[in-house]
Amino acid sequence: MSKRPKKMDLNQLAKRIVDEATGEIQPEEIDEKKKAAIESGRRGGLKGGKSRAEKLTPEERADIARTAAEARWKKNC
């Protein structure tokens, strides 16, 4: 299924999904430039955390972990 246009309400979306599923209309194709951009963004996201963690000092990692733990504890209380 293609992405929902921004101005489409829920009923229009439902009709579009049914029409695509039954073959009354063809789903929109994603052009090659968009596919390449989507894939490169995904690859960057998959490796970004690891490379960032390698560049951090142990003190910076501890600060980030402390902030995350405080946020979790704050949310549970």
Domain that holds residue 47: 10-76
Predicted TM-score of the model (pTM): 0.40
Instruction: Report d(CA 27, CA 1) in Å as an integer.
Output: 6
Instruction: Report d(CA 71, CA 76) in Å as an integer.
Output: 9
Domain assignment present for residue 3? The answer is no
- Which residue bears the tokens 């430039």? 33
Domain assignment present for residue 1? The answer is no
Domain assignment present for residue 35? The answer is yes
Which one has a higher pLDDT value, 5 or 42?
Answer: 42
Domain assignment present for residue 28? The answer is yes
Domain assignment present for residue 5? The answer is no
Domain assignment present for residue 27? The answer is yes
pLDDT at 3: 62
Domain assignment present for residue 42? The answer is yes
Question: Domain count of the chain?
Answer: 1
Amino acid at 48: G
Q: Is the pLDDT of residue 16 over 70?
A: yes
